Structure 1
Amino acid sequence: MHITLSFNRALRTAFLAIGLALTGSVLWAHGDVTPQAVDTKTLPQLGAKWLPSNPYSSGPAFKEALRIGTSAYNQNCARCHGLEAISGGIAPDLRKMDADCTGMADEAKKNACMAEMDEFYLAIVRRGRTRDGRVYMPPFESTLSQEAMWAIRTYLETRREK
């Protein structure tokens, strides 16, 4: 028992020393997960009523939404969901979020499936995820506007696995 405790203590000490050497600070699993505000004033404003689907998926605002969404994802989502939406195993791989829908041959069923995924996405991002009293994802509704959430969704749509 004493050997196991000493070994575990040695591993923790080594981990902290490596974290300090590499970053000048201690590395923790998720880092700072405080939601960061996103400036969306260059996007068309959507109003107070939440839209059921992504208004920036196509059209004139797409490029700006993609620019803002990429930055917003990196500020708020990448630490758990991975850089470029490629999960390192901490949280779901968001490139696969729509996987059940994208392969559907029937266009009407595919569109209905994508609408469900938009609804699912908004519900999770707005209210977060908690299981057994543990927060798996913080709620972003008080920090991110509807425009910011849809801009992030626009970015994620470009990251879908083929």
Structure 2
Amino acid sequence: MKSIFSSHFQRRAAQALVLSVAALGAAAVLAHGDVVPQAVDTHTLPQLGAKWLEANPYNEQSPARAEALRIGTSAYNQNCARCHGLEAISGGIAPDLRKIDSECLGLSDAGKKAACFKEMDDYFLSTVRRGRTRDGRVYMPPFEATLSQEAIWTVRTYLETRRVP
């Protein structure tokens, strides 16, 4: 009788373990939630106009940098963190955005460094505006219809403060 009880108990314990792991896996998938872009209030920033700029206007010399960073931190958390990770530290689902322009940091030639950062700004801007798809699958939704130019550049401003070499 003991062996029947023992095997029944082991089977029930194994079933409970499988159900628990399945529930945790489902919760992890659902934790990303619906990746629908959320609008960002940028009314406290100077408006940039309809023509998209080629470089971040909220650079270190900009008087609006502190406000852009405040807004960009919130905008990142609302729109990007669910895939790219809190504080831009990726958990492996999407690229680690702290490293988006890490190659540029190591360049000693000022001209090459500036060209590298411009190329990364172009890549960032086109990716955020249009999203990324491959084989018909959406890897990143387009944000241009929801986020203004000001909002997108504030996210870039935030990411610049998170850089790692």
Superposition TM-score tier, normalisation by shorter sequence: 0.7 to 0.9
User: How do 1:5-154 residues align onto structure 2 when only pairs under 5 Å count?
Assistant: 11=18, 13-15=19-21, 17-18=23-24, 28=30, 30-58=32-60, 59-154=62-157
1:70-124 deviation per Cα after TM superposition (whole angstroms, max 9, x unaligned):
0000000000000000000000000000011111000111001100100000000
SS at 2:30 equivalent: coil
Larger Rg: 2
Distance 1:133 1:18, change over 3 A: closer
SS at 1:28 equivalent: helix
For residues 104 and 43 of structure 2, what CA distance do their matches in structure 1 show? 32
Distance 1:130 1:124, change over 3 A: same
Alignment-mate amino acid for residue 42 of structure 1: T
User: How many pairs were matched up?
Assistant: 151
The alpha-carbon deviation at position 28 of structure 1 amounts to: 1.3
1:16–1:27 contact (8 Å) kept in structure 2: no
For residues 156 and 106 of structure 2, what CA distance do their matches in structure 1 show? 19
Identity of aligned residues (%): 70
Unaligned segments of structure 2, at least 5 residues: 1-13
Superposition CA RMSD, Å: 2.3
SS at 2:70 equivalent: helix
SS at 1:123 equivalent: helix
SS at 2:139 equivalent: strand
The alpha-carbon deviation at position 30 of structure 1 amounts to: 2.3
For residues 146 and 79 of structure 1, what CA distance do their matches in structure 2 show? 21
For residues 35 and 126 of structure 2, what CA distance do their matches in structure 1 show? 19
Ranges of 4+ aligned residues in structure 1 off by more than 3 Å? 7-11, 15-20
Unaligned segments of structure 1, at least 5 residues: 1-6
